[in-house]
Structure 1
Amino acid sequence: MSTKTKFNLKQPHQFLALGFGLGLAPKAPGTFGTFAALPFIFLTAQYGLVIQIATALLISIIGIWLCGKTADDVGVHDHGAIVWDEVAGYYITMIGAVINWQTLLVGFLLFRFFDIAKPGPIKWLDKKVSGGFGIMIDDVLAGIFSLICLQALISTGYLV
C-alpha cells in the first residue's frame, strides 16, 4: 500500500499531522514538513515571549494527540510523513528570535541537524518513549537545543 493511500488529508487530524500535506513529499518529508511551521512563526513573531511560548505549548500538546491518532490510523508508530513534530520543533527554535532570512535559515539548519543527528538525550527519548508523546518529545527537545544555539549566536552578534 502506498503512502498516499494510507493517509486521508480530508481528516483534519491527518491533514495537520502531515504538515498540511508537506509530509507526503517523496524525499526528505521531515525537511519539507518543517516548513509547515513558517505560518505559525510569521503569525506570532510580533508578539512577546509569553504568546510565543504559549503557542509552542499549544502546538506541542495538540501534536501529541495529532501524531498519536494519525500513527494509530495507519498502524505505524512514527511514519515519516507525520511531521507535526517537526512543526513544533522548528517553531520552538524560533521563539524570541528576530525573524529575517538569516535567523530563519540558521534556525532551520540547527533544528534539522539536531532532529537528524539526535545527540544524547534526543536519541534516547526517540528510542524509549512511545505513542504521540514519543513522536513529539524528541523533536521538542531538538527544538530546545536549537533555540539555545540560535540565541547564543544572536547574543554574541553572529546573527542580527
Structure 2
Amino acid sequence: MKWLAQDPALKKLSLKNPIHFLALGFGSGLAAKAPGTFGTLAALPVFLLLAPLGLPAYLAITLVVIVAGVFICHRAAHDMGVHDHGAIVWDEVAGLLITLIAVPMQWQWIALGFVLFRLFDIIKPWPIRWLDAKVDGGFGIMIDDVVAGVFALLSLQLCLYWFG
C-alpha cells in the first residue's frame, strides 16, 4: 500500500467518515490500479441486495444513490482538494446500478452489463468525455458515469432484445 501512503490527497480522508467511506466505494477506490473497476465490482453486492426488492424500489434507491452521490462526491473531492480523484468511485456504483436496471438475474447478463459500463466509462464517447471535461463539482463527478450507465443500459437492453 505504498501508493496510498504517498498520495497526500488520500491522507486527508478516513474510512471512518461515512461520506468518505461511500465516496471511496466502501474502500474499493483505494485500489492502487484500476480503482474505477474495483469500484464497479463493489457495486455488484449492492445490486444483488437491491434487485430482489422489485423495479419500483430499485429505481427509487438508484435515484437516491445518484442524488446523494452529487453531495458525497463533492464533499470527498473538497476534503481531498482534488476534483474527481481516481479513488472517488461512488459514481461507478451509481453507473452500474443504472446499467443493471431490469436485467435478468443471470450471471451472463450481469457480467455483460459490468463490461458494457466499464467500456463506456473508460472510452467516454461523446457526450460523456465532454461532460467529464466541462462539468465541475459533485455533479460533474457523477454526470459522466450516469450517462455512461444510461449508454450501457440501452446497449444491454438491446442485447437482451436481440439475444435474450
TM-score normalised according to structure 2 size: 0.92
- How do 1:1-160 residues align onto structure 2 when only pairs under 5 Å count? 2-3=6-7, 4-157=10-163, 159=164
Residues 45, 98 of structure 1: 8 Å contact kept: no
2: distance between equivalents of 1:123 and 1:132? Answer: 16
Gaps of 5+ in 1: none
Question: How much has 1:2 moved relative to structure 2?
Answer: 2.4
Q: Which amino acid aligns with 1:54?
A: A
Of all paired residues, the percent bearing the same amino acid is 56
Question: How much has 1:15 moved relative to structure 2?
Answer: 0.4
2: distance between equivalents of 1:108 and 1:21? Answer: 19
- Give the count of matched residue pairs: 158
Gaps of 5+ in 2: none
Moved over 4 A (4+): none
2: distance between equivalents of 1:33 and 1:12? Answer: 16
2: distance between equivalents of 1:61 and 1:2? Answer: 32
What's the C-alpha RMSD, in Å, of the aligned pairs? 1.2
- Which piece of structure 1 moves more, 80-89 or 47-56? 47-56
1: distance between equivalents of 2:14 and 2:122? Answer: 27
